[in-house]
Structure 1
Amino acid sequence: MSTSDYQELPGTQAPHDSSVVVDKSVSLTLGSDSLVIIAPSSLLAVYNPLDVTVRCTGSNRVSRAESKSNTTHAISLYNVLDAEVTPSELVITYAVPSSKNDVVVTALRYPVPVKERPAVEAWAQTLLNVAYGNAQQRKRLKVLVNPFGGKGTAASLYQKYAAPIFAAARCHVDVQNTEHRGHAIEIAKNLDINLYDAIVTCSGDGLPYEVFNGLGERPNAREALAKIALAPLPCGSGNGITWNCLGTGSVSVAALAIVKGLRTPLDLISVTQKGTRTLSFLSQSFGIVADCDLGTDNIRWMGAARFTYGFLVRLLSSTIYPCSLSIKTEIGDKKAIKEHYAKFASREFDPALDAPRIAAAQQSPALPDLKYGTVSDDLPTDWEIVPGENIGNFYAGNMAIMTKDTNFFPASLPNDGLMDIVTIDGNIGRATSLKMMNEVSTGGFFGLPDVYIRKATAFRLVPHEKEGYISIDGESVPFEAFQCEIHQGLGTVLTKSGVIYEAEGPK
């Protein structure tokens, strides 16, 4: 029997008394990472018509090995969604691969005699406890669907791929379509935060931006951002937050990851412009990346490929975006940044930290004060002044992956209280620019000599030109001076690890 490619659940171990016999000849045993079923081949075939061996996204696998009399079948505990003893049978519901990129729900059913019900019920509860580990069971989900985002398929994607997963896991689900731009802000601002554990966004990165800002506009903003987790489904063109938190572009696999997701504190960034203050969760860009993002809205039908196309087109023209740039740098050396990442990445997920964080937020429920003031205030004297006359690209990231295959900020961490800032001179040659673009997907971008990387707590950028693009989480903001300041652990998301993003660290 092969047990490779299974998903280990943080903080879980199978109990010593982990076996039960059902239907006289079927043995169910909880392993460290899988449910092992030993049964006569004929019975297993009846109870598991979808018995297959297919690899899905590197972590979900069902395997089978046969002997002369029995068949041994192993189901990853990560895939187990529910276990219930009805008046007549034990039902174990789980996800199996249906294709290279998707999973579907199926079930095992075994008759249970009345006298054996107490023992089987206790075993089924143990199965659920081990299968979910530190993840909350039967989450209460507020699902927001943007029917206009991406290619306009979010509603159908949710119903076909995510809804069956949530139903099988017995999540309590409340679905609502957003009707206009900014509607998710209104919903999050007025949501009863005691009724839900997470807000599921069926979109790209647009609805998450609105949800965080809607929660941030509440009088009890800090409390709401700590209590309600953001759980993204990849139904848009970018889907950066889904790739970071859940490591997939598949709606069904993301739904499974949400069911098993761990509550994770997330740094959020305050962005000030004149009299406004908004919250950012993903990135802030100025220069060629902002142009590629916002200047290609007319070709959204190309999906993520529009960013590549936009980059190549702009590379053939001017790549200088002059500005004044000041950064509150905390770590400016690449070697030290790698060490910082390794230290945080080695930590174990600790669910005990969540309750004190929420309690602290309830004691001081409003948004945190701005330590460095706004963009209209005097510049702090201890900030680093970065020459900006020849800037080709300014990119600040709070997450590692911006779109599929673009691990632009490999040293980024969910909750280290630092944003990663990349600056690139606009006078470098086209060949070097193309090499940089290629190295983003191969993992070599971080180490390139023309790529300057800092970990910082704040920055201020003032454009020198009158027209252009500034992108905050993929959203266009006025082309004027802006200042950003990070707040450690202000928000909450569901992630697979609870500690790091689903991205390879810096090389």
Structure 2
Amino acid sequence: MSGIFDLIPDHVQTQVQDLAPYLAGISLVLTGLFMNPLNVPLPLFFQVHDRKKLRNRSKAYDPPSSLKSKKFLVLVNPNAGAGMGKLTYDEVIKPMLEKAKQSHDVVFTTGPGHASQVCREVAANPALESYDCIISASGDGMLHECLNGLLSNVSASSKGHNTRTAKRQLPPLAVVPVGSGNGVADSLYGRRCGPHVALEKIIAGKPSDIDVMAMTYVGKPELGLIYDLHFFCWAVFSDHDFLTENTLRWLGPMLKMVLAPAIVILRMTWYGGVLDFAPVEVAKDLKKHYKDPKSWPESPDDKTMRRVDDSFWCMAAGNLKEAGGDLSATPYVKQDEGAVDILMVTKSRGWVSRFRGLMVFLQAENGEHTEFDDIQIVKCNKFRLKPGKSRYRGSPGHLQLSGQEQENGEVEVEVS
């Protein structure tokens, strides 16, 4: 190697040595922007380009003259999107609300559970219910926290009726996407809509109903009700999300989203389990996309339900079309139909190879995976899952709501 450097003129070597600190600095900047080890919030210096771009779009915002004055409560996860939460509030949310002459209060969350606590206080204090809307500036995870805080006082009995009543009485909940998983925003405002588009629609729009999933643990009433309005996951999708939010999080947003699918496809883990679901009639023009629930036997525990006793590679219940990360996992579900779509891949209905698993991830981008014969989609308003362990790893896998890890165990989910 030294022989090669001997061929370089001395003055060139001197210039390279002088430039070395600057080259190292450029490398660090590029690493921070595209890899972001440790997934820590990026220094302000790294955000110059994003700040300018966000600011220019906010300046171009022209609010309608017919807007009515509203009061918003904005909850910001400052660390969402590797520091984009605080930046988005400063350059998008605050200036656009002020330009539209909308008043707001802001809370910067300090850690897990903080958003839930704030929303719990809003729900419990009539004086705070003067807010016309609560905005979660985050990914899907903190939105899940806000929902559970708002609905924290809903009784476990008659939960379907009570949940609908509570949703009408409490201030509407909206999301401005700044996280790594923005499935709710993608479903409501359009894929990769960005914070400007989302906030513009929130300011000018009217609330619309979204079904809520209420989950309880069978035999564990002390764990209470847990709510979600997006995605219930077990098996491959929850394994994927666990990797992106835990094991691979230190790699940063780009690398973790590339590696996680590759890892779960290479593992190809199948989990034994029992799923009972209460089928709902599907519209005639959509029946070709769904499996006939009568192809599964009746549940011995409840004759109104059908039973799937099998090995699962995939089991997810979608409340909205977009799962996040450019995956349209349940493309035919409607946000307010009193039902969810269950997407599953089971061993008895067709062994899925690693290549096939890769194709599922790739074609789910446009919802084309639903055309596979070994993909089963059913519509239901209630289901019960008893997750088992994988044969080779001896693990029951992960159970998640909107990417938020939940205690694994037998659960029952109702939709309202």
C-alpha distance after superposition, 1:447-491 (max 9, x if no partner): 22111111100111111225421111111111111111100xxxx
What does residue range 273-312 of structure 1 map to in structure 2 within 5 Å?
A: 273=217, 274-275=220-221, 276-296=224-244, 297-300=246-249, 301-303=251-253, 306-312=256-262
Tell me how far 1:101 sits from its aligned partner. 11
2:95 pairs with 149, 152, 164, which one? Answer: 164
Say whether 1:128 aligns with 2:65: yes
Cα separation, partners in 2 of 1:429 and 1:102, compared to 1, 3 Å: farther
What secondary structure does 1:422 align onto? strand
Tell me how far 1:308 sits from its aligned partner. 4.7
Tell me how far 1:327 sits from its aligned partner. 0.8
Instruction: Say if 1:103 and 1:253, in contact at 8 Å, map to a contact too.
Output: no
Cα separation, partners in 2 of 1:387 and 1:223, compared to 1, 3 Å: closer
The structure with the greater share of residues assigned to strand is 1
Tell me how far 1:229 sits from its aligned partner. 1.1
C-alpha distance after superposition, 1:287-320 (max 9, x if no partner): 1111000133232354376345222112212421
2:70 partner letter: K
Instruction: Say if 1:400 and 1:407, in contact at 8 Å, map to a contact too.
Output: yes
2:304 pairs with 382, 393, 412, which one? Answer: 382
In structure 2, C-alpha distance between the alignment counterparts of 1:399 and 1:468, rounded to whole Å: 23
Q: Which stretch of the first structure deviates more once superposed, 329-338 or 463-472?
A: 329-338
C-alpha distance after superposition, 1:34-68 (max 9, x if no partner): xxxxxxxxxxxxxxxxxxxxxxxxxxxxxxxxxxx
Instruction: Say if 1:238 and 1:304, in contact at 8 Å, map to a contact too.
Output: no
2:78 pairs with 147, 151, 166, which one? Answer: 147
1:453 partner letter: I
Tell me how far 1:99 sits from its aligned partner. 6.1
Per the alignment, residue 452 of structure 1 pairs with 376
Q: Which stretch of the first structure deviates more once superposed, 211-220 or 405-414?
A: 211-220
Instruction: Say if 2:61 and 2:96, in contact at 8 Å, map to a contact too.
Output: no
What secondary structure does 1:153 align onto? helix
Per the alignment, residue 216 of structure 1 pairs with 151
Say whether 1:200 aligns with 2:132: no
In structure 2, C-alpha distance between the alignment counterparts of 1:224 and 1:430, rounded to whole Å: 44
What secondary structure does 1:152 align onto? helix
Root mean square deviation, CA, Å:
2.8
In structure 2, C-alpha distance between the alignment counterparts of 1:223 and 1:396, rounded to whole Å: 23
Per the alignment, residue 402 of structure 1 pairs with 323
What does residue range 279-358 of structure 1 map to in structure 2 within 5 Å?
A: 279-296=227-244, 297-300=246-249, 301-303=251-253, 306-331=256-281, 336-337=286-287
C-alpha distance after superposition, 1:104-125 (max 9, x if no partner): 23599xxxxxxxxxxxxxxx9x
**Structure 1: gaps spanning 5 or more residues:** 1-97, 109-123, 341-377, 488-507
- TM-score between the two structures when normalised by the length of structure 2: 0.72
Cα separation, partners in 2 of 1:162 and 1:449, compared to 1, 3 Å: same
In structure 1, C-alpha distance between the alignment counterparts of 2:272 and 2:260, rounded to whole Å: 20
What secondary structure does 2:129 align onto? coil
Per the alignment, residue 208 of structure 2 pairs with 264
Instruction: Say if 1:102 and 1:250, in contact at 8 Å, map to a contact too.
Output: no
In structure 1, C-alpha distance between the alignment counterparts of 2:318 and 2:254, rounded to whole Å: 18
2:65 partner letter: L
In structure 2, C-alpha distance between the alignment counterparts of 1:264 and 1:222, rounded to whole Å: 12
What secondary structure does 1:295 align onto? helix
Cα separation, partners in 2 of 1:458 and 1:101, compared to 1, 3 Å: farther
What secondary structure does 2:58 align onto? strand
What secondary structure does 2:134 align onto? strand
Say whether 1:416 aligns with 2:345: no
Cα separation, partners in 2 of 1:430 and 1:339, compared to 1, 3 Å: closer
In structure 1, C-alpha distance between the alignment counterparts of 2:61 and 2:321, rounded to whole Å: 36
Instruction: Say if 1:284 and 1:397, in contact at 8 Å, map to a contact too.
Output: yes
Cα separation, partners in 2 of 1:445 and 1:138, compared to 1, 3 Å: farther
C-alpha distance after superposition, 1:249-272 (max 9, x if no partner): 422222212112221011001101
Instruction: Say if 1:401 and 1:409, in contact at 8 Å, map to a contact too.
Output: yes
Say whether 1:104 aligns with 2:58: yes
Tell me how far 1:285 sits from its aligned partner. 0.9
Instruction: Say if 1:102 and 1:252, in contact at 8 Å, map to a contact too.
Output: no
Instruction: Say if 2:271 and 2:396, in contact at 8 Å, map to a contact too.
Output: no
Per the alignment, residue 344 of structure 1 pairs with none
What secondary structure does 2:98 align onto? helix
In structure 2, C-alpha distance between the alignment counterparts of 1:452 and 1:332, rounded to whole Å: 14
Instruction: Say if 1:138 and 1:170, in contact at 8 Å, map to a contact too.
Output: yes
Q: Which stretch of the first structure deviates more once superposed, 288-297 or 462-471?
A: 462-471
In structure 2, C-alpha distance between the alignment counterparts of 1:107 and 1:447, rounded to whole Å: 41
C-alpha distance after superposition, 1:187-235 (max 9, x if no partner): 1111145311111111111221111111111368655522411111111
Q: Which stretch of the first structure deviates more once superposed, 429-438 or 198-207?
A: 429-438
What does residue range 4-15 of structure 1 map to in structure 2 within 5 Å?
A: none
In structure 1, C-alpha distance between the alignment counterparts of 2:60 and 2:261, rounded to whole Å: 44
The structure with the greater share of residues assigned to helix is 2
In structure 2, C-alpha distance between the alignment counterparts of 1:484 and 1:101, rounded to whole Å: 43
Instruction: Say if 1:285 and 1:394, in contact at 8 Å, map to a contact too.
Output: yes
Instruction: Say if 2:77 and 2:108, in contact at 8 Å, map to a contact too.
Output: yes
Identity across aligned pairs (percent)? 24
Tell me how far 1:236 sits from its aligned partner. 1.0
Cα separation, partners in 2 of 1:443 and 1:303, compared to 1, 3 Å: same
- TM-score between the two structures when normalised by the length of structure 1: 0.60
In structure 2, C-alpha distance between the alignment counterparts of 1:484 and 1:285, rounded to whole Å: 12
Say whether 1:225 aligns with 2:167: yes
Instruction: Say if 1:327 and 1:460, in contact at 8 Å, map to a contact too.
Output: yes
